[in-house]
Chain A
Amino acid sequence: MFHKAKTSTRWVQPRTLSLRELRRKSIITAVWSTALLAPMQLNGAILTGDSRTTEEASDSVLLVLAAASLADVLPRIGDEWERLGGTPLVFSFDATSRLAVQASQSGAGDIFFSADPQWIRWLEEQGTVSLGSAVHFAANELVIAVSRDVSVPVEPDKLLGFERIALAGENVPAGKYARTALERAGVWSEIEEDVVRGGSVRGALEWVVRGEVPAGIVYRTDAEAAPSVSIAFVFEGPEYPQAQYWGVPLGSTAYEESAADFVNFVLGDAGQSLLREAGFSPPQSFVTDGEAEGHAAGDAGDDLVASISSAVRLSLIVALLATLVGLVPAVGLGWVLARRDFRGKTVLSTIVTAPLVIPPVVTGFLLLSVLGASTPLGGLIASLGFPVPFTILGASIAALVVGLPLYVISVRGAFEAVDPMYEELSWTLGSSPWKTFFRVSLPLALPGIAAGAVLAFARSLGEFGATVVLAGNVEGSTRTIALAVYTLLESPTGREAVWVLVGASVMISLIALLGFEALSRRQKRRLEDRHAR
């Protein structure tokens, strides 16, 4: 069945990594954290409640589930802890909201470090932790981070001038805190339209780093560590919310004592000095309870039906667009690969097929590097009035590129199944290759081409990783079914909606696959001619 490796490989920092390596990784991980984790999370942790057993079987190691914004500092504290003889630790970093849901449903993990006390309370309601053992150990301020080329200083009301503002996901603590901060600053209602949501706060920051979005609201610690961004404004003072970091041993732990010890170690001198060094504030003396609460539940209520139908509609539009636009390249490439021999054929075939095996997140990252608004090509396209990132166009391009390999492979197979002698015969009967293509090759391969289109459609429908990196998670323009499910999974509410979307997704996919099977059979029948003799 399943295996600990899966739960912990994702973000678990192997103990051998040096600090420098950890820092170097931070940029890459920022993007990966937005999306890579998502599908794995679905496959892995949430669905596998029994990973715990393997965990216990290994020599005592503490699995620490921790908020993404602690990804740099916590391993350093861990080093110190281990140096002093503490139980070895492995970390899994992600958005607090996702980790909380994981911890509650998988029964895995020993310690939970949350960026929001609300989630600790929620876990207590689930019976996963005991509030009495929770410790508030640090705080983090929110800042407005801007690309280096944006002139500072910027104040909250100056955000109105920006075309887009990046925030973490709406159910992620950083995303909720940011919304609260903007509400307190009195600008939320005006800029709400311009907000684009990254999966985690690091994902949002990455867009600012890359210049795709001029400004983002992120944690001070992350902004300070990131290259090529400046901090334009700090949300300081009692009127603004701060992220409150809490640590708590999970009820599922078999190492209750060591877990509590490590939580206290973080609160102790060694931990606090490393936290201070990384830019965290000391724990707040008073706890501003429930600052960031409420939005998730409110959003999840009335608008639920609207968001579900928006996601389904958007998925269908994006998949259809990708399938239609992909038709010409798929048929062209499929035919060339089936019928022509030329230098570089292997290379072409490899490039076209690559997105099938390259992790979609990487494909998305590469696409962003080529088509992002700050790149020459992306800039050109944007100046024609078709910006790619955060638009339905971007979602469709991601779906197209990821779906194209299956498309081309199917089409190529369809053309290869057509005996070349049909084409040769057509030539001798006076039809040029071009005419022959339309009179013979295309009609004979048609069911196979349609099968490829259906397959590409189904793949586009399920596209997640490349979409979230290239096009973000914007309700109404890029939040397709897969992204909507992912967003809902971050929230303790909205489970029914998840099932509706899961049902829709599975159903559409199965129908598409049935169509594929039927069309493939038809392709076979169409060419049965030879065997009938």
Chain B
Amino acid sequence: MPADTNFHLGLDLEIPFTGGGLRVELNTASTRIAVVGPSGSGKSTILRILAGVERRAHGTVLVKEHCWQDSSNGTWVPSWDRRVGWVPQETLLFPHLTVRENLSYGGALPDWVSETAALLQIEDLLDRRSRRLSGGERQRVALGRALLSKPRILLLDEPFSALDRPLRGELSELVSDWALDRSVPIVLVSHDEEDAKWLAEERWHVGGGSLRKE
């Protein structure tokens, strides 16, 4: 199944930062976008703005036909209505819930949870508390939780950083296929060239207070 040809992502934002600020102008029809740049440059903040958990930015956010933010007329779609599959760098799992409960947090049915768990090779972990997982296991659970929330867009922040090489390639291919099958666009934030290569067709670089297409 081909990529969503109607997809369009438009960002026109002024992000206040201590010591400058970040100007973001991004217009693309690509469904595989990687945002790269040094740490502290504001990459993660762009994802947070897309996820609707960061309100300090001024400007507009357009995703497909949806306007999620327009500061000129006060438009703001809250996170819980955006349906984004956000995997923050910190890969926080709800510590009071089991892996299974974490995976189904977004409302996924049990069958689907098992299926996705198998795909991500975490089916043995389903009844464990999340605090007993290794870093790599945690990343896969966090990823699974995002995939299972029926996202309109996947926002992945260094999603494979804790994984070893072979698994890393395997998993990024898996996510890539999964997204392709369902026409879900991906915005990836990474400093890892490999990740970016696997998943992205367009690379944007953050630096010097602005965002440029490479």
A residues touching B (Cβ–Cβ < 8 Å)? 419, 421-422, 424-433, 439-440, 443-444, 526-530, 532-533
Question: Interface residues of B, CB < 8 Å — how many?
Answer: 30
Chain B interface helix/strand/loop/mixed: loop
Main SS of chain A's interface residues? Answer: helix
A532 and B80 contact, Cβ closer than 8 Å, known pairs A425-B86, A430-B107, A440-B94: no
Instruction: Give CA–CA (A526, B80) in the complex, Å.
Output: 25
Q: B107 — nearest CB in chain A belongs to which residue?
A: A430
Option from B52, B92, B131, B138 in Cβ contact (under 8 Å) with A419 = B92
B129-152 to A contact mask, C-beta < 8 Å, 1/0: 011100100100000010001000
Residues of B within 8 A of A427 (CB): 52-53, 78-80
**CA–CA, A431 and B145, complex, Å:** 14
Do A529 and B92 contact each other (CB < 8 Å), given the known contacts A428-B86, A431-B80?
yes
Q: Complex formed: what's the CA distance from A526 to B149 in Å?
A: 25
Asked if A421 contacts B92 (CB within 8 A), the reply is yes
* Least Cβ–Cβ distance between B139 and chain A, in angstroms: 10
Smallest CB-CB separation from A436: which chain B residue?
A: B80
The CA-CA distance from A430 to B82 in the complex, in Å, is: 8
Shortest C-beta distance, B160 to chain A (Å), equals 15
Decide: B84 and A529 in contact? CB cutoff 8 A.
no
- Chain A residues near B131: list those with CB within 8 A: 528-529, 532
Q: Verify B92–A530 contact, CB threshold 8 A.
A: yes
Is B96 a contact of A428 with CB atoms below 8 Å? no
A429-B105 in contact given A444-B96, A529-B131, A533-B135 (Cβ < 8 Å): yes
- The smallest C-beta distance from A431 to any residue of chain B, in angstroms, reads 6
Are the C-beta atoms of A533 and B138 separated by less than 8 Å?
yes
- B11 proximal to A (CB < 8 A): no
Chain B 5-27 per-residue mask, 1 if CB under 8 angstroms from chain A, else 0: 00000000000000000000000
Q: Measured between alpha carbons, how far is A424 from B92 in the docked complex, in Å?
A: 11
The B91-149 residues at the A interface (CB cut-off 8 A) are 91-96, 105-107, 130-132, 135, 138, 145, 149
In the complex, what distance in Å separates the CA atom of A427 from the CA atom of B83?
A: 9
Inter-chain CA distance A223–B10, complex, in Å, is 82
Inter-chain contacts of A425 with B (CB < 8 A): 86, 88, 92, 94
Q: Is the CB of B92 within 8 A of A430?
A: no
Which residue of chain A lies nearest to B108 when distances are taken between CB atoms in the complex? Answer: A429
> Does B194 touch A at the CB level, under 8 Å?
no
List, in ascending order, chain A residues with CB within 8 A of B90's CB. Answer: 419, 421, 530
B80, B91, B107, B130: the one within 8 Å of A432 (CB): B80
B196 at interface, CB cutoff 8 A: no
Which residues of B sit under 8 angstroms from A440, Cβ to Cβ?
Answer: 94
CB-CB contacts below 8 Å: B148-205 with A: 149
A432 proximity list for chain B (CB < 8 A): 78, 80
Q: Whole-angstrom distance between the alpha carbons of A428 and B92 in the complex?
A: 13
A428 touches B82 (CB 8 A): yes
Q: Which residue of B lies closest to A422 (CB)?
A: B92
* A528 to chain B: closest residue by CB: B131
- Give the chain B neighbours of A433 by CB distance below 8 A: 80
- Taking a contact as CB atoms under 8 Å apart, the answer to whether A529 and B83 are in contact is no
Query: In the complex the two chains form, is A424's CB within 8 Å of B93's CB?
Result: no
Give the residue of B52, B78, B82, B105 whose beta carbon is less than 8 angstroms from that of A426: B105
Contact of B80 among A422, A430, A443, A527 (CB under 8 A): A430
* A440 nearest in chain B by CB position: B94
A424 to B52, CA, bound (A): 9
CA distance A425 to B90 in the complex (A): 11
Give the Cβ gap from A446 to chain B, nearest Cβ, in Å.
8
Complex CA gap A337/B116 in Å reads 39
Other A-B pairs, 14, CB within 8 Å; known A427-B80, A432-B78, A533-B138: A419-B92, A421-B53, A422-B94, A425-B92, A427-B53, A427-B78, A429-B106, A430-B106, A432-B80, A444-B95, A526-B95, A527-B95, A530-B90, A533-B91
